[in-house]
C-alpha cells in the first residue's frame, strides 16, 4: 500500500503507516511524499518525489512502476523521516502563511523556514528516523513548496490567521481543508512525549487555540537573547 | 571588516574574505549573510541573519553591537560555509527563476531547491567549510528567500532566461544587476578545480552562455535513470 496522506492520528499520535499496520496488518507500507501540487502532476509538469519503503529492491521496482516522463519518484528507506516531514510541513506552512498574513516580510518567512527545518530534524531524530532524509525531496523540497506557495491550503489558512482571524471565523468563511490545523495539536503532544524542543509547533498551537496572537509571539522571539547559531 | 557583498572573484576564484586579505592584510574578516531583503530591514520587519567570524568572543560581541529590535545577527564560526552559500544562492536563484519563467511549476522549483542544497553542501565540504552551516540562516534561510521571491534580482533575471531571452537581450532591456550572472562561470570553474559534481551550476552556465536552452536541460534531467535518493 502506497500511503500518500499526510498527518498524525489524533489521540494515538500514530503515523500513517502505523494506522495501516492496525487496519491491514499484512499490507507492506510505502510512503510517497515530496513537492508535488496535484495541479502540476496533472498538467505533466516536472515533478520529483520520494518513495520510502523498507525493502530496497522492492521500493526501487515500485518507484520505476510509478514513474512517468514527468513524474519521478526516487526510492529511499527512511519511512519515519518521510512521514514526519510530510505531517509537520503543514504545521510550518500555517506559520509561514501567518507571517505573510501579518505582513512581516519574506525575510522573516525564510528565517522561519530555516528554524522549522532544524525543529523538524530534532523531531525526526527523536522518532528514530534520519535527519539526513530532510535534505531531500520529501523534507526540504516539500517544506519550501508548502511554506512559500499561496496555492497551499495550509499556507492560505495561515494567511488568514496572520490577518487576525480565529479558526472558527476562517472555517465559517468556507476555508478549504487545512490538514495542519488537525496535525498541530498532535505534533505538539508528540514533541512533549519525546521531550523535543519545538517552539514553532507550540507557537502555532497557541495561535490556533486562541491563546496567543502572532504579534505577541514574534515580539517574544525577537527579544530572546542572541545565542550562537552553531 | 564586516563583509556583506556576495560572490567569487573572476579569475582568482577568491572568496570575499580572501580578497580582503589581499587588500587589507591587517583587517579581521567577518561575514554577514542571511535572508534579509534591504526593504525588510529598512522597514523594521523581523530579520535574522548569520555573522561568521573566527574568534567566538569577538563575533558574539560584534553581533550584539549590530543587533537591533528587529535585526538579529546570530554568531557562527564557519566563514567559508557562509561565503560559499551567499555566492551560490544567486546561481540557484537564476535556475529557479528560469523554472518559473518557463512555466514549469512550483513543484519543479522546489525539487530544484532540494537539489541545489545538496550541491551547495558538496561545494562547501570541498572548500573546507561545514555542510551543517547550510541548515542555518545563511544557507537554507537565504536560499529559500532568493529562490522563491520575484523581489530577488537574480530570480527576476532567471525568469527572463526562462522565457527564452538571451543575456544580451535581458541586459539591453535594462535589467538590474544580477550578481549570479558573474558568479556562475566562476562557480563552475571552482567546482571543476575541486572535482565537485555540480550539474546545476553547469546547467546555469550553459544557459547563460547560450550553449543550452531550459527545455533541453529539463528533458535531460527528467530522462536520467531513477537512482536511489539516499
- Give A42-71 pLDDT, tens digit per residue: 999 999 999 999 999 999 999 999 999 899
Residue of B nearest to A100 (CA): B45
pTM: 0.95
What does A135-191 look like in DSSP terms, one character per residue? GSIIIIIHHHHHTT-TTSHHHHHHHHHHTT--HHHHHHTTPPP-HHHHHHHHHHHHH
A57-60 contacts, C-beta under 8 A, 24 or more apart: A58/A28, A59/A30, A60/B226, A60/B228
Whether ipTM tops 0.85, in short, is yes
CA–CA separation, B115 and A192 (whole Å)? 33
pLDDT tier, B8 (very low <50, low <70, confident <90, very high otherwise): very high
**Tell me: the pLDDT tens digits for A79-122?**
999 999 999 999 999 999 999 999 999 999 999 999 999 999 99
Q: Are strands B47-53 and A2-3 parallel, antiparallel or unpaired?
A: unpaired
What pLDDT is attached to residue B222?
Answer: 74
**What mean pLDDT comes out for the span B79-108?**
96
What pLDDT is attached to residue B211?
Answer: 92
- Give the cell for residue A54: 523498507
A 10 A CB-CB count for B115 gives 20
User: Is residue B223 over pLDDT 80?
Assistant: no
* B151 vs A contacts (CB less than 8 Å): 106
Catalytic residue, from A89, A176, A211, A227: name it: A89
Instruction: Say which residue the cell 547563460 belongs to.
Output: B208
What pLDDT is attached to residue A167?
Answer: 93
What pLDDT is attached to residue A210?
Answer: 92
Closest-CA residue to A230 (of B36, B145, B130): B130
CA–CA separation, B144 and B86 (whole Å)? 12
User: Is residue B77 over pLDDT 80?
Assistant: yes
Q: Touching check for A78 and chain B: CB below 8 Å?
A: yes
Q: Looking at chain B from residue 145 to 184, which residues have their Cβ under 8 Å from any Cβ of chain A?
A: 145, 147-149, 151
Q: Touching check for B213 and chain A: CB below 8 Å?
A: no
**Tell me: the pLDDT tens digits for B165-221?**
999 999 998 877 789 999 999 999 999 999 999 999 999 999 999 998 888 888 777
Query: Do A29 and A98 form a contact (C-beta atoms < 8 A)?
Result: no
Query: Do B154 and B179 form a contact (C-beta atoms < 8 A)?
Result: yes
CA–CA separation, B224 and B229 (whole Å)? 13
Q: Touching check for B47 and chain A: CB below 8 Å?
A: yes
Q: Which residue has the higher pLDDT, B151 or A176?
A: B151
* B34 vs A contacts (CB less than 8 Å): 111
Min Cα distance B93 → chain A (Å) is 14
What pLDDT is attached to residue B166?
Answer: 93
User: Is residue B49 over pLDDT 80?
Assistant: yes
**Tell me: the pLDDT tens digits for A135-182?**
999 999 999 999 999 989 999 999 999 999 999 999 998 877 789 999
What pLDDT is attached to residue A133?
Answer: 94
CA–CA separation, A83 and A186 (whole Å)? 14
**What mean pLDDT comes out for the span A118-134?**
96
User: Is residue A226 over pLDDT 90?
Assistant: no
User: Is residue A38 over pLDDT 90?
Assistant: yes
pLDDT tier, B226 (very low <50, low <70, confident <90, very high otherwise): confident
Amino acid at each position: 500500500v502506497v500511503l500518500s496522506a499526510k498527518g498524525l492520528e489524533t489521540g494515538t499520535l500514530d503515523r500513517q503507516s502505523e494506522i495501516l499496520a492496525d487496519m491491514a496488518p499484512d499490507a507492506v507500507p510505502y510512503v510517497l511524499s515530496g513537492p508535488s501540487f496535484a495541479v502540476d502532476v496533472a498538467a505533466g509538469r516536472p515533478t520529483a518525489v520520494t518513495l520510502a519503503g523498507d525493502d530496497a529492491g522492492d521500493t526501487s521496482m515500485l518507484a520505476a512502476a510509478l514513474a512517468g516522463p514527468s513524474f519521478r519518484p526516487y526510492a529511499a528507506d527512511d519511512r519515519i523521516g518521510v512521514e514526519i516531514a510530510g505531517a509537520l510541513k503543514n504545521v510550518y506552512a500555517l506559520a509561514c502563511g501567518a507571517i505573510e498574513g501579518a505582513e512581516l516580510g519574506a525575510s522573516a518567512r525564510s528565517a522561519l523556514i530555516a528554524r522549522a527545518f532544524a525543529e523538524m530534524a530534532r523531531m525526526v531524530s527523536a522518532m528514530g528516523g534520519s535527519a539526513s532524509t530532510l535534505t531531500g525531496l520529501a523534507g526540504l523540497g516539500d517544506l519550501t513548496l508548502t511554506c512559500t506557495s499561496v496555492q497551499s491550503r495550509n499556507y492560505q489558512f495561515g494567511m488568514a490567521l496572520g490577518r487576525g482571524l480565529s479558526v472558527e471565523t476562517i472555517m465559517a468563511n468556507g476555508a478549504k481543508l487545512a490538514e495542519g490545523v488537525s496535525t498541530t495539536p498532535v505534533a505538539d503532544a508528540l514533541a512533549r512525549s519525546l521531550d523535543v524542543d519545538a517552539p514553532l509547533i507550540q507557537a502555532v498551537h497557541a495561535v490556533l487555540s486562541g491563546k496567543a496572537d502572532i504579534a505577541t509571539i514574534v515580539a517574544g522571539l525577537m527579544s530572546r537573547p542572541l545565542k550562537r547559531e552553531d
